[in-house]
Amino acid sequence: MKLLTCPINGTRPLQEFTWGGEFREMPDPEQATDEEWADYVFNRSGAPGVKKEWWHHTASGVWFIAERDTERDIVLRTYLYTGKMSDD
């Protein structure tokens, strides 16, 4: 069982968390073509590598972002979503 670090509650076992899918930027619905929109809604990259994902600490209701390297099966970092698309 993996461990995951919630930015509010600290490191907890994975069973306390819910995966929320890949973090994606929604294209402007007014501007996006049908193809761009369909790409946003349906297409996900399954290629191994660093993924930016939503995770939810179920017990406390905290949503946060985890950057996870699926190739090495490690979590690089976790942080609260601040609204900026790039948190670097």
Partner 1 sequence: MTDLSNQQAASNAALEKNRMARQDGEWIDRNQPLHFVFEGKTYSGFVGDTISSAIAASGNLFMGRSFKYHRPRGILSMSNHDINTMMQDDQDPTIRADVVLAQNGMQLRTVNTFGGLKSDRGRYMNCLSRFLPAGFYYKTFHTPKWLFPMWEKMFRTLTGLGKVNFETPRRYTAKRYAFADVLVIGSGPSGLSAALAAAKAGAQVVVVDENVRPGGSLTYDYGGMDESPALLGRLLSEVTACEKIEIWAGTLAAGYYSDNWIALVDDQRMTKMRAKTVVVASGSYEQPCVFRNNDLPGVMMASAAQRLLRRYAVRVGRNFVVLTSNSAGYRAALDMVSGGASVAAIVDMRPEGELSHWHELAAGLGIRILAGHCIYEAIPEPGRYGVSAAVVKRLSSAGEIEQAGGVTFSCDAILMAVGYAPAANLLYQAGTKMRYSHEIEQFVPDLLPESIFACGRVNGVYTLSSRLLDGERAGLEAAQKAGYVVEQKRVDVPAEPSGPTHPYPIISHPKGMNFVDFDEDLHLRDFYVSVQEAFDNIELMKRFTTVGMGPSQGKHSNMNAIRILARLKGKNIDEIGTTTARPFFHPVKLSHLAGKGFTPERLTPMHHRHQELGAVFMDAGNWKRPEYYQIEGLSRIEAIRQEVRSVRTNVGMIDVGTLGKIEIFGPDAVLFIERMYTGLFAKQAVGTTRYALGLDETGVVIDDGVVGRLAQEHFFVTTTTTGSAQIYREMNRWALLWKMNVGIVNATGYMAAMNLAGPKSRAVLAPHCNIDVSDASVPYLALRTCEIGGVSARIMRVGFVGELGYEIHVPSEKGAYVWDLLMQEGQKYGIQPFGVEAQRILRLEKGHIIVSQDTDGLTNPFDAACGWAVKMNKPFFIGQRSLKIAQATERKQVLAGFALAENYRGELPKESHLLIEAGDIAGRITSITDSEALGRVIGLCFVRPDLNEIGRMVQFRLSDGALVPAQIVATPFYDPDGMRQKV
Residue 20 within binding range of partner 1, rule CB under 8 A: yes
* Contact pick of 9, 12, 16, 32 for partner 1 (by CB under 8 A): 32
* Contact pick of 2, 70, 76, 87 for partner 1 (by CB under 8 A): 2
Whether 55 contacts 19, CB under 8 Å: yes
* Contact pick of 47, 61, 86, 88 for partner 1 (by CB under 8 A): 61
Shortest CB 21 distance to partner 1, Å = 10
